[in-house]
Amino acid sequence: MRIVAGEWRGRSLRSPTWEGLRPTSDRLRETLFNILGPSIKGARIIDAYAGTGAIGIEALSRGAGWVCFVERDPRAVRLIEANLRTLGGDGRYAIIRADVTSTAAACGSDAVDVAVFDPPYAEDAAARALDSAATLPGERLRVVVEHAKRYTPPARHAAFTLTRTVTAGDSALSFYERG
């Protein structure tokens, strides 16, 4: 895995050494950030189900103002910490070891601009991610859910409306806006 663009472009990230963690591919991360574009600069981001931290680290590399990594697996938390240490992360982040259902409480009360959820692939994964996102502060919150392409994401759920879905291989990214 490598960082696609920004300050840390081309730098490698450590990968998990255990089964059960599915890092977002470089290609899918590039697609995600191409769609989000310059709105990442200065934004407050949540990387939920953070895994390796690749999404949040990519956001920091591209100029995000602050990233909250939420991950419950202690091995993944250590992996995120190691990746940020290697890059010389400058403190524009928090790493929270928690279940995503407590994301809002864990990441603070400041408005969030973008929340990216990469839950384990399951038929109801997108809906469960949107339920968790519903408690996040921010009127203009955009939520992105990575899910298996074979599962159709809800058009509307928990006060979020689907605006776009893109696919790459077996994976899909569904973009939602509040309202």
143 vs 128: CA distance, rounded Å = 12
What CATH number is attached to the domain comprising 67? 3.40.50.150
pLDDT at position 161: 97
96 vs 116: CA distance, rounded Å = 15
pLDDT at position 21: 60
Q: Render each residue's pLDDT in the chain as its tens digit; 179 residues.
A: 788 888 988 888 887 676 666 666 778 888 999 999 999 999 999 999 998 899 999 999 999 999 999 999 999 999 999 999 988 877 899 999 988 877 777 788 889 999 999 988 889 999 999 999 998 999 899 999 999 999 999 999 999 999 999 998 899 999 999 97
The answer to whether position 64 is within a domain reads: yes
User: 152 is in which domain, residue-wise?
Assistant: 26-178
103 vs 63: CA distance, rounded Å = 22
The answer to whether position 15 is within a domain reads: no
- Count up the domains in the chain and report the number: 1
Q: Model pTM greater than 0.85?
A: yes
The answer to whether position 76 is within a domain reads: yes
Q: Edge-to-edge strands of the sheet including 93-97?
A: 93-97, 66-71, 44-48, 114-117, 142-148, 171-178, 160-168, 156-157
153 vs 160: CA distance, rounded Å = 12
The answer to whether position 45 is within a domain reads: yes
pLDDT at position 14: 80
pLDDT at position 29: 85
The answer to whether position 139 is within a domain reads: yes
pLDDT at position 40: 95
The answer to whether position 1 is within a domain reads: no
The answer to whether position 173 is within a domain reads: yes
